[in-house]
């Protein structure tokens, strides 16, 4: 290994950006040349996508260009799409260049496996999804049409989904929006979830969140069904195993996730779903010098459920993984090992007119602490304040304590 270590980070979101900032805290530009490769030119605060769908934020408001903060940190930004990773030759190939590395951090997030539910679309079928900026723009258009021509709505998640929080947020936010426009009486809302009970969220539930969600949905006349395996979305309905079709003119369904194509098709890098298997330091179990963090990582489900639900990978968890990986990588350059830690999670769910706060430690049960669950308007303000503070801090090349919000 030469005097200057070459580190390549793939992905410019929570995982990639946090890794870059944390690595620079430990490694000066004289010691490490860091390159961040991302296909998107901007960082987007993904947890605010449901607000974009409701017309309460624009994509510009929740994003910033990556180039300036990265150059302030002496990190080279390459806006390129990765097409392959050769872990033997230690080279990343993109649409424009080749990037040799000594260490590689994969933080490429997910590919939405929309093909799992015929009709999910969103661009070639009637279903909608908020899993990325373009999909959310499409969903925002569908919600505008719904306001003009109201009809029944289904908000749900497909079997194998792991990102369940937005199902609840979108149902509550839509309910709130329709009430404000006095259209709610024309729009029956049904939540269809693969979870065995409300608030399971792929992590076996969290304290009293199940009761909170049951009460909140019932209070708002939102019908729900659990252990549902959605099979198809048509123009008029959502079909599911063993159920009569649920009428819906606007079907918002969270898909199961897979690894992005470049990771899934690179030999020896990922499991059959395209996720990267890692150890407690977020190091690849076989490929030398390779780490993975965030949604790109393979994490086993919390337990068996009648309809599959996968383990969550939230923004807060992604940042903890990035911290652990960056510290281990910096320590390994000096011939040491970094410290590992169990993942915890803090998360605020937007309920339209208020918020619900959840804290689990660790995420995977059984847990040392009884989870904290709290409801109130202050949590909605906290979520909004966290978004603003996060964007303002990250765009200046700085980090803020992530224990505060989400
Ligand atoms: C609608 C929604 C709401 C959410 N709400 C919350 C919340 O309230 N709280 C919370 O904690 N978490 C929330 N999450 C989860 C959170 O957004 C994710 O955990 C987080 O975005 C994961 O970050 P990541 O860096 O792993 O991947 P991503 O955010 O998916 O980013 C992937 C990065 O990789 C890049 N990339 C992908 N493929 C390539 C390629 N081939 N070449 C180059 N670059 C590539 C992309 O450009 C992007 O920069 C939400 C998720 C969604 C979808």
- Marked catalytic residue, from 37, 105, 117, 163: 163
The Å distance, Cα 43 to ligand 1 centre, comes to: 10
Is 250 known to be catalytic?
Answer: no
Summarize pLDDT for 52-111 with one digit per residue, the tens: 999 999 999 999 999 999 999 999 999 999 999 999 999 999 999 999 999 999 999 999
Q: Is the pLDDT of residue 2 over 70?
A: no
Which pTM value belongs to this model?
A: 0.97
Task: Write the CATH number for 336.
Answer: 3.50.50.100
Q: Is the pLDDT of residue 183 over 70?
A: yes
Confidence of residue 320 (pLDDT cuts 50, 70, 90): very high
With respect to residue 26, please indicate whether it lies within any of the assigned structural domains.
Answer: yes
Task: Identify the pLDDT of residue 119.
Answer: 98
- Residues 124, 103 within the same domain: no
Final residue before a domain boundary, out of 341, 372, 399: 341
- Residues 125, 246 within the same domain: yes
CB-based pocket (< 6 A), ligand 1? 10-16, 37-40, 46-47, 49-50, 81-82, 107-110, 130-131, 163, 165-166, 260, 262, 294-296, 313-316, 318, 347, 406
Q: Report d(CA 73, CA 68) in Å as an integer.
A: 9
Summarize pLDDT for 373-405 with one digit per residue, the tens: 999 999 999 999 999 999 999 999 998 876 666
Q: Is the pLDDT of residue 253 over 70?
A: yes
Centroid of chain to Cα 365 = 21
Task: Identify the pLDDT of residue 402.
Answer: 65
With respect to residue 347, please indicate whether it lies within any of the assigned structural domains.
Answer: no
Averaged pLDDT, 44-56: 98
Q: Which of 8, 13, 37 to mutate to test the pocket of ligand 1 (most atoms within 8 A of CB)?
A: 13
Closest CA to 15 of 339, 355, 325, 400: 325
Domain that holds residue 169: 114-255
Is 347 known to be catalytic?
Answer: yes
The Å distance, Cα 3 to ligand 1 centre, comes to: 33
HEC per residue, 101-120: CCEEEECCCCEECHHHCCCC
């Amino acid at each position: 290994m030469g005097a200057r270590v070459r580190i390549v980070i793939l992905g410019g979101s929570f995982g990639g950006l946090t890794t870059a900032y944390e690595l620079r805290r430990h490694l000066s530009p004289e010691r490490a040349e860091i390159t961040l490769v991302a296909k998107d030119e901007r960082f987007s605060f993904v947890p605010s996508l449901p607000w974009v769908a409701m017309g309460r934020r624009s994509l510009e408001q929740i994003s910033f260009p990556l180039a300036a903060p990265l150059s302030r940190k002496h990190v080279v930004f390459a806006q390129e799409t990765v097409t392959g990773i050769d872990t033997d030759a230690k080279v990343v190939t993109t649409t424009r260049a080749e990037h040799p590395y000594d260490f590689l951090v994969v933080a490429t997030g997910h590919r939405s496996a929309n093909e799992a539910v015929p009709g999910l679309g969103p661009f070639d079928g009637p279903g909608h999804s908020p899993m990325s900026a373009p999909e959310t723009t499409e969903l925002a258009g569908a919600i505008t049409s719904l306001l003009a021509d109201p009809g029944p709505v289904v908000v749900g998640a497909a079997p194998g989904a792991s990102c369940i929080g937005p199902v609840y947020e979108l149902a509550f936010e839509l309910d709130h929006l329709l009430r404000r426009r006095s259209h709610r009486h024309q729009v029956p809302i049904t939540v269809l979830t693969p979870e065995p009970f409300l608030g399971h969220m792929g992590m076996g539930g969290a304290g009293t969140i199940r009761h909170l969600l049951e009460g909140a949905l019932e209070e708002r006349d939102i019908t729900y069904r659990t252990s549902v395996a959605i099979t198809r979305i048509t123009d008029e309905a959502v079909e599911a195993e063993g159920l009569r079709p649920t009428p819906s003119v606007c079907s918002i369904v969270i898909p199961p996730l897979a690894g992005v194509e470049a990771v899934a098709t690179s030999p020896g890098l990922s499991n059959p779903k395209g996720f990267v298997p890692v150890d407690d330091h977020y190091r690849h179990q076989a490929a030398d010098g390779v780490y993975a963090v965030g949604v790109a990582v393979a994490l086993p489900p919390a337990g068996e459920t009648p309809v599959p639900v996968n383990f969550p990978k939230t923004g807060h968890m992604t940042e903890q993984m990035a911290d652990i990986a960056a510290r281990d990588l910096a320590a390994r350059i000096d011939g040491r090992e970094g410290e590992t830690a169990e993942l915890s999670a803090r998360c605020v769910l937007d309920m339209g007119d208020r918020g619900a706060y959840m804290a689990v430690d660790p995420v995977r049960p059984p847990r040392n602490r009884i989870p904290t669950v709290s409801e109130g308007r202050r949590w909605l303000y906290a979520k909004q304040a966290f978004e603003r503070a996060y964007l303002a801090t990250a765009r200046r090349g700085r980090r803020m304590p992530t224990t505060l919000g989400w």
